[in-house]
Amino acid sequence: MKVSIVGSGYVGTTTALCLAELGHETVNVDIDPDVVDGLNSGVLHIHEPGLQKLLDEHLGSRFYATTDYGVVGDTDITFICLPTPSCEDGGLDLSVVLDGARELGKALMSEESHMVVVKSTVLPGSTKEVGRVVLEKSGLRKDSLLLACNPEFLREGTAVYDFMEPDRIVLGGDEEAVENLKQLYRPLIDDGFQVFETDVKTAEMVKYASNSLLATKISFANEVGNICKKLDIDSYEVMDGVGLDKRVERSFLDSGVGFGGSCLPTGERVLVEVDGELKYIPIEKLHSLFIKDCSLKAYSLDLDTGSREFKEITTVTERPYNDVLVEVFTESGRSLKATEDHPFIVQDGGWSVKPAINLSVGDEIPLIGEFPVNPVSIDFLEIIEKHGVEDVLIDVGGEEEDWVPVDEAVGLDMSEKDSCNIKGLGGGVFESPCSLGEDIWMFIGSFINFGDTEQLIDNGMCVFRTMDADNLDPVYEFLNRFEVPYTITPGDKNQLSIENQLAGALLKEFCIGVYGKKIPEQVFQETTDNKKAFLKGIFPNYSGGRGEAQLIIGPELQLLGEQLSLLLESLDIDTTIKRSSGSELKLDFEKTLGSKEVRNDIKISRTERLRIFREKNKNGEENHVDRVVEIDRYTEDVDVHSVEVEDNQSFTASYGIIIHNCFPKDVRALKSKAVEVDEKPDILDAVLKTNQKQPQKIVEMLESKIGELKNKKIAVLGLAFKPGTDDIRESRALPVIKTLKQKNTTIYAHDPKASENMMDVFPDINYEKTPEKALNQADACLILTDWEQYKKLDIDIPCIEGRRLDKCEGLCW
């Protein structure tokens, strides 16, 4: 048969080449001439295992591509394989599909009949609308247009395999249309693959019901798994047994993975408030903070108003993943990885949502923009205690003889003082608490670029080195204000040294992180003047204006570069990030966004870049968006993490890119359709909310045995996920201990191997070397891991087993 396929994305190109492999003559119709030229030159614009081989075999014989819709009249069947992105309410945007239908209709004006098959993912009733548009534009009689729905079930990374080895082939249409499709798929049908024949609306619903059921199975398994955790049952073993039932089937019944699968991989970062403090942290750390019951808020975009604000994080989950990741690169040099179904926010007049799989070069995605101003002050007394500074004097009266050691001032009445002055070895007088003014921020910034980290960490000395002595001017302003002595050592690199414990403690507090130098998160919420002062310290060539700049960073300073891109964006400085070698850190205002060097680095023309910049800044308004210039897809074995945020359902990720919540598109779309037809989607709502609740059954059972838990002493035996390991990542003890802490109990924990790991999560509970010692101090006991040695214990206090040892009453036996 002769087949035309409108659309050359993953579904369209795979469909065209696989049908060619089945022996049909196919043509891909696409409006993008670059895509068409590439295909006709044997170059794929997407990566899909096995697809290049099919293109090499069939190009010029059974396959070619064109931008001319007119070719459809020479074919027997036309497939519509165009994208259907999500709307803000979870519904589908059919505009691209309907535009394709209009062009198709125009191309069929001189034809007497034709068959149109919708393969795009569409909600029930959509195929009928496509047919209406084709009839309207073509002038065909209704009985001259065969209309069908043949939904795709292709996964990126295995699309060719899924097409050639399908679980089932769903054909929706009248008898003639279905028969034509059966002839099309005859080679697969003859090989024994199942065919499901039905009407159009049912076929449309099969696609959504199928994907939503998978999400429901995952959510159901997750809820059962949570219950099993409280009951100390191995939920995977439960589902092994359940899966033996032919009516149920085992796949998608593993608990703990959540629904949908849209996530960010380990290594990406998020901008959040943790117990009121701003942090830019790896997303994998967010999960452990969530378990600890920290107050977590994400910096979020309101899709209705365009405003940015902090909103509560309601759920964080993690799971292993071995499938396709999408890495998005932007015109400014930013990048972000996500699973292929993770929803991105894009600007197209307003804000809309589309999964990573449907992103296109040219899409504009939102950035953080300005932060709410929340200036910080520092308490030097707290800093010196934290960093172990000794021999510090405090002024308790205002006269020279009133300077006394800090430890001697503890008992003095200073209640009438709002602040005090302190000084340490090496001179310098500091007020505490002290607001961070421009001079302090310039001093901190200067150390970021010119400071010696090793000297600071090893002996507390503040050492600055630079080829250009003028770069140290911001440091002198700080030293003069606080009367701090210093020495200058001239040479190839001018060196300024400060032997001052208080200045050293200040720099340790604000500039040193786990991996070396860091940008202090506090600066993000400073005043504009203080932000500019901080940048002036790092980059003395910065004049304080807005506009365009190039941030040049070496691979050793990746995190610094990400943090600086957030700060620069908040100051309306349109920044391109350029990677260099070594530990280079430079902000260049001469090589602007339109320069040749930058253009070569990010593959976009000067004219286009300047047009974008003018568009973004017209009328003095700043849209805070970045433009997608490249999209890579590859398979990776990695842990992935999902985040849910209340109300706005968006959060800020790496480089200040704001993306949507992690959610399953098909479940939300089907829910949206249910609301449209005035049907309350209770189960779908439950699927979307399951991961937000934690089972409390084992703790409630303990309460029923010993009464109110407040001030009770509880022995928790078993912290590991299972015997023989120190792995606590999926431990049933994590949610149980969290709940016990909330009920103000005193916990005595024991595990033969996992106590040290659990200390990182719960440092404030008691860890005992033997289970007997834990039991001897407790009013009651929970056994959460079935270590063999626990079977030998004599337990004479109330006890509940979460893992079956048959010594005490069990959670579910």
Q: Are strands 350-355 and 364-366 parallel, antiparallel or unpaired?
A: unpaired
Q: Which of 263, 462, 662, 799 is catalytic?
A: 263
Alpha-carbon distance 218 to 167, whole Å?
20
Q: Which residues contact 221 (CB under 8 A, 6 or more apart)?
A: 235, 239, 252, 253, 254, 255, 257
Alpha-carbon distance 321 to 334, whole Å?
24
Q: Measuring CA to CA, which residue among 136, 139, 137, 133 is closest to residue 113?
A: 139
Measured in degrees and rounded to the nearest 5, phi and psi for residue 137 equal -85, -25
For residue 520, whether the previous peptide bond is cis, meaning omega lies within 30 degrees of 0, is no
Alpha-carbon distance 770 to 758, whole Å?
16
Q: Measuring CA to CA, which residue among 568, 561, 602 is closest to residue 585?
A: 561
Alpha-carbon distance 478 to 486, whole Å?
11
Which DSSP string corresponds to 577-636?
A: EEE-STT-EEEESSS-TTSHHHHHHHT--HHHHHHHHHHHHGGG----EEEEEEEEEEEE
| Rg of the Cα atoms in the chain | 32
Q: Measuring CA to CA, which residue among 268, 301, 219, 270 is closest to residue 649?
A: 301
For the chain, how many residues are written? Answer: 813
* Residue 491 buriedness (CB in 10 A; 0-12 / 13-18 / 19+): exposed
Residue type, 681: P
Alpha-carbon distance 369 to 633, whole Å?
28
Which DSSP string corresponds to 234-275?
A: -HHHHHHHHHTSTTT-STT--TTS-SS---EEBTBEEEEEET
Alpha-carbon distance 709 to 230, whole Å?
17
- Based on the residue annotation, tell me whether 294 is a catalytic residue of this protein: no
Instruction: Kindly tell me the sign of the dihedral angle through the C-alpha atoms of 634, 635, 641, 645.
Output: positive
Alpha-carbon distance 208 to 219, whole Å?
16
Measured in degrees and rounded to the nearest 5, phi and psi for residue 229 equal -65, -45
Give the pair of three-digit tokens for residue 144.
């001259």
Give the pair of three-digit tokens for residue 680.
């309350």
Alpha-carbon distance 107 to 702, whole Å?
72
Q: How many CB atoms lie within 10 A of CB 158?
A: 16
Which residues form the catalytic set?
A: 263
